[in-house]
Structure formats: structure tokens, C-alpha cells
A = this chain, B = another copy of it.
């Protein structure tokens, strides 16, 4: 599977992660450009694959790897729609960790098409259990992030 998945999950960078994705039919709307809500899908794919490459998998945490069913939830999001993308274009989704505390993670994300900046976003996420109650990030996760990320940890 790791062989099959090669290239599908993007790549780790010094300060985070980079993922390339294509704009397909499903992403566009009748005005000819990408529908604004679809960028949240692209951003979420970027965050998911960043976590995947540091060893944190949705299926595993949902399956109870940490003692109970856990899941990520987005708490807050600020998003600037700077420039539009169109069908067939290739988007580069970059993700950096801005802050990790005991119970939440803040990520800064950008979407580019070539040199052109399309999206600038700040996403605050947290971990909750099956009943939606907030949980602290599992301790061993912290050590998995790139060292540039380690310096962002405020309340380990």
C-alpha cells in the first residue's frame, strides 16, 4: 500500500507539507471558476495528508487506537479568497503548523496555482471523542512533527 500510495500524499517540507491536486468538473460552478466551498476540501486534504505523513491516520484514531474513538473537528477558520482557479488547473496546497497546545492545533495554509496565490487560510482544529467532548492531543503525536514545528508547541 505504501508503494501504491507513493506520491498520493504529497511531501513533508521544512516547516510543514505540500500537496498537489487537480481541479475537476466537480470543483467548479456555473460562473466558470472553482466553487468557494470546494477550497475547504482541498485544504482538508492537505491537512489530512500532512498528518498521514507524520503517522497520524483518521481510520486509526476513529478505530480507538488511543483508547477511545477520536476525531478531528475544525473549530475556527478564516479564509481569504484571493484569486480564482479554473477547470484542469493544478493546485499546490501548503500547510504549516502555527501553534500546537495541549488541546488544539492551528495551521496556516495557502493554495497556489503556479506563482499565483489563490487562498490564504488559518484553521484551528481540535480532537474530540465519540460524544464530541474535547480531548488532549495524544502526547506521542508532538514528537512526530518536523523540528521546525516543535518550536510552535506552547503547552506540551
Listed in ascending order, the chain A residues whose CB lies under 8 Å from chain B are 1, 4-5, 7-9, 20-22, 24-26, 28-33, 35-38, 40-41, 44-45, 48-49, 52, 57-59, 62, 71, 73-81, 84, 86-88, 90, 92, 114, 130, 132
Contact = CB atoms under 8 A, between A and B. Distances in A.
Contacts of A114: 1
Nearest to A28: B30
Please give the count of copies of this chain that the complex contains. Answer: 4
Contact of A37 (B22, B31, B40): B40
6 contacts: A8-B21, A31-B62, A36-B40, A37-B40, A58-B88, A77-B81
Contacts of A92: 4
A20 B4 contact: yes
A132 B32 CA distance: 10
Contacts of A59: 86-88
Given A25-B44, A40-B40, A74-B36, A30 B81 contact: no
